[in-house]
Amino acid sequence: MTGAPATLFDKLWSAHEVVRRDDGASLLWVDRHLVHEGSHHGFAKLAARDLPVARPDLTFAVADHYVPTRGVPAVGSDIARMIRQLAENAARHGIRHFGMGDARQGIVHVIGPELGLTLPGLLVVCGDSHTSTHGALGAMAFGIGATEVAHVLATQTLWQKKPRRMRLRFDGALGPGVGAKDMALNWIARLGADGAGGHAIEYAGSAVRALSVEGRLTLCNLSIEGGGRLGIVAPDAATLDWLRGRDFAPADWDHAAEAWAALVSDPDAVFDREEVIDATEIAPIVTWGTSPEEALPITATVPDPDRAGAAADRVRAALDYMGLVPGRPLIGTPVDQVFIGSCTNARIEDLRAAAAVLAGRRARVPGRVSPGSAQVAAQAMAEGLDRVFIEAGLDWVGSGCSMCVGMNGDLVAPGMRCASTTNRNFRGRQGPGARTHLMSPAMVAAAAVTGTLADVRPLLKGRV
């Protein structure tokens, strides 16, 4: 790096760049490589060439995508094979493995930060697009493909073209009942599903600083849904407080904290693009279509394709799939079930937000609550949150990706409408023909209580 003002992303990229090719691609050193059941392709490529894992001490295996949230997988099933294959690959290469039954098992993007595997300044990669989540701690984190997984396993390095730099600032204070999920869906709806295409997003502004670390994890998680390559929040006192004492936190804490203090964008640093959003204008948001960009405040009406201009065909097709009628209020749209979970919204703060709405009330529709990790589950049970969900009539299940990906038997039936805390709502994401509305945990709880898409704010009066 020269003495010129630099963004946080510039600093992290430079710190990890080993060499740069003539075509502009950089060879980057990887600090943490997270693998899961879907990473078997990478291990197979190593086996075909009889190669070892270069740095097993920097590689961590997590069972999450295929893990059943009830019981164990049937012997001989594809799910059992996938889970066993991950354990075998981890054992063969001496990789630490957080598998079924481990007290620290959970969704990879939940336990990475939770255990302190993710730390400010690190480069974290995983064969999963929502690796952007880890940027909330001031890390440079992004998803990689199967071939890249093999390259990292074999060399602990990765070739990448440097993304452009974007700062997305949220100014002002959020209103009651509005949180990080609403912030994320708001900016994606404003800018579009490719609105941040080709950019590394730095989230900034007073509303971002006011978020808890859990909220920042949610915000960064959804960066990919707006086209971003990654999302990042500069570490601050809240970050350090949250990381202190984690299982893999540095032994020399004071020295690490001093180094992390320098992980900020310089005052005069230049971004390729800047966007500013007034946080005071953000309302609780729900998606109405088949992309996270197809989202509106809960108080809005279903859009009219005839007024959508060039997007008319897309809007019409989305509404047809979702079974929605143009011009009708979003509020009151019946839902068939609810889901609280996923790497987007299954941390303890998310469960507390949903429980604040559900306490003392009964759900009118069935639903499932899957904590993001075994540790989150233990903490929630210690606080009595599991009893709140169970007494409301929802199922309290084990930790895993669950109904977000539908790879493990947790599905939404064809034609059924689900209010969900997950990150994607494309056709069939939660099962063939499933209709998914994305929203915050509190909004999902409101949908459970009313049996419809609902504004959570009246339900929170006198409770928060």
Q: Which amino acid is at 70?
A: R
Measuring CA to CA, which residue among 254, 245, 211 is closest to residue 231?
A: 211
Q: Which tokens hold the place of 229?
A: 């390559």
The pLDDT of residue 320 is 97
pLDDT tens string 21-50: 999 999 999 999 999 999 999 999 999 999
**What mean pLDDT, rounded, does the chain reach?**
96
Q: Do 159 and 14 belong to one domain?
A: yes
Distant-in-sequence, close-in-space partners of 438: CB < 8 Å, separation ≥ 6: 181, 185, 286, 287, 292, 295, 420, 421, 422, 423, 424, 425
Model confidence band, residue 2 (pLDDT cutoffs 50, 70, 90): low
First-to-last CA distance in the chain?
47
Q: Do 304 and 179 belong to one domain?
A: no
pLDDT tens string 392-401: 999 999 999 9
Measuring CA to CA, which residue among 445, 100, 98, 372 is closest to residue 221?
A: 372
16-25, 383-392, 402-411: which range is least confident on average?
Answer: 402-411
The pLDDT of residue 6 is 97
Place of tokens 């990080």: 180
What is the value of pTM for the model shown? 0.97
Q: Do 173 and 292 belong to one domain?
A: no
Q: Which residue has the higher pLDDT, 183 or 3?
A: 183
* pLDDT over 90 at 255, yes or no: yes
Q: Do 82 and 141 belong to one domain?
A: yes
Does residue 272 form part of some domain?
no
The pLDDT of residue 407 is 75
Does residue 279 form part of some domain?
no
Model confidence band, residue 104 (pLDDT cutoffs 50, 70, 90): very high
Does residue 402 form part of some domain?
yes
Q: Which tokens hold the place of 203?
A: 């989230």
pLDDT tens string 325-354: 999 999 999 999 999 999 999 999 999 999
Contact 135, 233 (CB under 8 A): yes
How many domains does the chain divide into?
2
Model confidence band, residue 1 (pLDDT cutoffs 50, 70, 90): very low
* pLDDT over 80 at 267, yes or no: yes
The pLDDT of residue 75 is 65
Q: Do 303 and 435 belong to one domain?
A: yes
> What sign results for the dihedral spanned by CA atoms 420, 78, 375, 202?
negative
Q: Do 52 and 184 belong to one domain?
A: yes
Q: Which residue has the higher pLDDT, 1 or 422?
A: 422
Which whole-number Å values give the CA distances from 84 to 73, 126, 323, 416, in the listed order? Answer: 10, 19, 40, 33
Q: Do 341 and 434 belong to one domain?
A: yes
The pLDDT of residue 262 is 94
Q: Which tokens hold the place of 231?
A: 């999302």
Q: What is the mean pLDDT of residues 123-149?
A: 97
Does residue 249 form part of some domain?
yes
The residue out of 218, 241, 267 marking a domain boundary is 267
Model confidence band, residue 425 (pLDDT cutoffs 50, 70, 90): very high
Q: What is the mean pLDDT of residues 12-28?
A: 97
> What sign results for the dihedral spanned by CA atoms 423, 450, 331, 173?
negative
Q: Do 256 and 377 belong to one domain?
A: no
User: Range of 258's domain?
Assistant: 8-267
Q: What is the mean pLDDT of residues 63-89?
A: 87
Model confidence band, residue 68 (pLDDT cutoffs 50, 70, 90): confident
Model confidence band, residue 78 (pLDDT cutoffs 50, 70, 90): confident
Does residue 278 form part of some domain?
no
Q: Do 189 and 295 belong to one domain?
A: no
- As a 3-state breakdown, the chain gives helix, strand, coil percent values, each rounded to 5, of 40, 20, 45
Does residue 378 form part of some domain?
yes
The residue out of 234, 267, 300 marking a domain boundary is 267
Segment holding 411, helix H or strand E: none
The residue out of 207, 239, 267 marking a domain boundary is 267
What's 365's domain CATH number?
A: 3.30.499.10
CA-CA distance, 258 to 246, in Å (whole number)? 17
pLDDT tens string 147-169: 999 999 999 999 999 999 999 99
Q: Do 128 and 170 belong to one domain?
A: yes
Q: Do 417 and 313 belong to one domain?
A: yes
* pLDDT over 80 at 408, yes or no: no
Q: What is the mean pLDDT of residues 236-253?
A: 97
Does residue 274 form part of some domain?
no
Model confidence band, residue 252 (pLDDT cutoffs 50, 70, 90): very high
Does residue 275 form part of some domain?
no
Q: What is the mean pLDDT of residues 219-238?
A: 98
Rg over alpha carbons for the chain, rounded to the nearest Å, is: 21
Q: Do 111 and 243 belong to one domain?
A: yes
The pLDDT of residue 384 is 98
Q: Which amino acid is at 100?
A: M
